[in-house]
Amino acid sequence: MILRITIENLFSFKNETEISFVAGKSDRHNEQVCRAEKRDDISVLKAGIIYGANASGKSNIIKAVAIIQKIALGSVPKKDIEPFKLAEQNNKPSKVEIEFKAGPQYFAYGAEFNNKGIAEEWLYEINSRTDKEIFSRKTSISGNEFTFGTIEGNDEDRQLAKFIGQSTPISDSFLSEYIKRNGKGLNCINIAYNWMKENLKIIFPDSRYSGISMRIEQDKEFAVATKSLLEYFNTGIIDIRRTKISKESLDLPKELVDDLMANSEPNKNFLISSPTTIYFFETNDNGTTTIYKQNAIHKNDNGNDIPFDMNEESDGSLRLLDFIPMLIDLRLNESVYLIDEIDRSMHPMLSQKILEYYFNMLSSDRDNQLIFSTHESNLLNLELIRADEVWFVEKDREGVSHLYSLAEFKPREDIRKGYLQGRYGAIPFFASIKNLKW
């Protein structure tokens, strides 16, 4: 679970800016909080909702988390780095730090970086009162400078950890190099790395869950859950299936199909996907390739199953199909999801139904969290959410994004109405139409 995200000199964030999902003292919707059980524990919200006008910086928060995740799991994604551009001189590195809960432990992992690589990197084990260093790294022309906390194990383990640190390239994280080279003695690194890899999941507007029909075939529990959710959201789709098709009916360039078929290998399967069409190529041990197409299944007036091409479905239905695996995952496992523009292409009621479903299935036994950006004002309802779950993003005249919490206003009134009236900011303002020059 994410406690805090700190961003500096990245995208529209100029100065160090923080968004926190640490729960306040309110006892409203207590089931939406992972409550501290021990003195040093930290209470964490199970949901976070980010509002702001277009181009205010909402998406940049989620993009920043995606960058620190990529750094943790490998190397600096240089093509994704955009330091704040509106400063006259900006030679500073960008910075992202994420504080998170993994099992019973809390960590702070962060890095300062530019398009040349990592300038600084650190991992601390934290709690409500203290920070304990796992490692800190600074890079220079002469190499890496490291300080370590306690390295468990024997002298050989300690020497290996230090060797990995000294030989980690400037473009790569020590976190990933330690895992790649089977480092020992710093078990907190394994926990932090696995959380970044297995628990933290990000859905952007163009993200697609391609293999839902295949998973339905292979996982009965997933199939039952998917059909149940399709019925709950009432899109008219009753199932997602693969249907066998001929090579000639493929909506792909003939040269590509011929190349794919010529290079197919026994017992090798692969898929090709576009925003609306997904094809599966399966080759058996005799070298025979069978082609399938993913279809949405509807019922006709006689109760018969009728397959529809995915491009015949609305953008909202396709977007919902990307969220169904997420909702199943959140119900069965411990996961953290960040969604950019949850309401994109969907009816306002669908966003509300997704949030209601998520809140309804929360369990004190699972550390789940759902954080998303949205424009959907219907979610601003204190009967559904907590005030400390809501954050606003607003740009100033210099183009700098600033963050503030709804909880700062101590709202008691209709917060949706107050938001639309501009009481909390973070809404678009327009010039007078009379000033148009044409």
The string of pLDDT tens digits covering residues 181-200 is: 999 999 999 999 999 999 99
Residue range 4-30: average pLDDT?
A: 96
Q: How many CA atoms lie within 13 A of 322 on its CB side?
A: 25
For residue 256, pLDDT over 90 is answered with no
Q: How far apart are CA 364 and CA 28, in angstroms?
A: 16
Q: Flag whether pLDDT at 84 surpasses 80.
A: yes
- What separation in angstroms does the CA of 435 have from each of 431, 432, 438? 7, 6, 9
For 1-116, list the strands marked E by DSSP: 2-8, 17-20, 33-34, 44-45, 47-52, 94-102, 105-114
Could you tell me if residue 250 is left (phi over 0), alpha (psi between -120 and 50 degrees) or otherwise beta?
A: beta
More reliable by pLDDT, 250 or 93: 93
Check: pTM over 0.85? Answer yes or no: yes
Given this model, what pLDDT does residue 99 score?
98
Domains of the chain as residue ranges with CATH: 2-205+340-420 (3.40.50), 212-319 (no CATH)
Listed in sequence order, the residues at least 6 apart from 430 whose beta carbon sits closer than 8 Å to its beta carbon are none
* Averaged pLDDT, 148-166: 95
Q: How far apart are alpha carbons 334 and 35 in whole angstroms?
A: 16
| Of 60-64, 191-195, 317-321, 384-388, the least confident | 317-321
Which amino acid appears at position 363 of this protein? Answer: S
Q: What average pLDDT does the chain have?
A: 94
- At residue 430, the pLDDT reads 66
Compute the average pLDDT of residues 307-323: 92
Name the strand (E) or helix (H) holding 202: strand 200-203
Q: Region 124-135: what's the mean pLDDT? A: 97
Q: What is the pLDDT of residue 275?
A: 65
Calculate mean pLDDT across residues 250-264. Answer: 86
Mean pLDDT of 103-113: 98
- The DSSP output letter for 195 is I
What confidence tens digit (pLDDT) does each residue in 380-397 have?
A: 999 999 999 999 999 999
pLDDT tier, 343 (very low <50, low <70, confident <90, very high otherwise):
very high
> What's the pLDDT at 432?
72
* pLDDT above 90 (res 89): no
Position 277, amino acid: T
Tell me what the mean pLDDT of segment 7-25 comes to.
97
Among candidates 317, 271, 263, which has minimal Cα distance to 293? 271
**DSSP of 297-332:** EEE-TTS-EEEEEGGGS-HHHHHHHHHHHHHHHHHH
The proportion of the chain whose per-residue pLDDT surpasses 70, expressed as a percent, equals 99
pLDDT at 140 over 80: yes
| Distances from the Cα of 438 to the Cα of 132, 337, 431, 432, 435, angstroms | 62, 46, 14, 13, 9
- Rounded distance, CA 60 to CA 11, Å? 6
Residue 203's region, left for phi above 0, alpha for psi from -120 to 50, else beta, is beta
pLDDT at 233: 93
Number of H helices, E strands in the chain: 10, 20
